[in-house]
Amino acid sequence: MMRRYGWLTGVALLAMPTLIAAMEPDPLGGRYGHEFSEPAYAAVWEVRRVGAGWQAGTVADDTYSAAHEMSPAARRAFWEKMGWPAATSTEADCVTWGEAPLSLTDMLEGKPVATGPDAFGSDLVCHVPAHVRKDIDWLADSSEDWFFYNPVAGVMEVRRVP
């Protein structure tokens, strides 16, 4: 009897890493809130994996748009825009969505909005570990590993919430 099911056990053992990975929560997916929401840390934004892609948006009005994980080049470009040490972008993980607004200079010069995997949109959520945040003035005092950014709100410390 054991011999008959030996191949089945082998297949199950080979499939185990895939099954475990499928059960683990997505490292960037989730709901995020901040201390100024009512109540504090209520879910404001959600990032979710949909098939091979991402969707992100505002929980309150249930509006979601296509999103993408920021490439190293996109993270570096965002870090440079913020005036943060470029080397600290390598250990961050970010998801971005929305169309990036042009700066006034770019708009006056007629430059197109950057698109594609090396671009970042108007909104983004990033995970930045404490050992990296300590080297970024704007994030050094943050107690959370996450921040949200958009051109209106600026950089806002956020927390993953249930």
How many angstroms separate the CA atoms of 13 and 10, rounded?
5
Tokens representing 70? 């920021």
- With a cut of 50, list the residues of the chain below it in pLDDT: 1-2, 5, 7-24
pTM of the predicted model over 0.95: no
The dihedral of CA 148, 158, 136, 24: what is its sign? negative
The per-residue pLDDT for 149 is 93
Report yes or no: 88 and 79 within 8 Å, Cβ to Cβ. Answer: yes
Neighbouring residues of 94: CB distance < 8 A, sequence distance ≥ 6: 28, 69, 70, 74, 75, 78, 120, 124, 125, 126, 127
Before 101, cis peptide (omega within 30)? no
How many angstroms separate the CA atoms of 150 and 155, rounded?
7
CB-neighbour burial class of residue 156 (10 A; exposed 0-12, middle 13-18, buried 19+): middle
Strands 146-150 and 63-69: unpaired
How many angstroms separate the CA atoms of 44 and 97, rounded?
15
DSSP output for 66-104: EEEEPPHHHHHHHHHHHT--GGGGGG-EEEEESPPPPPH
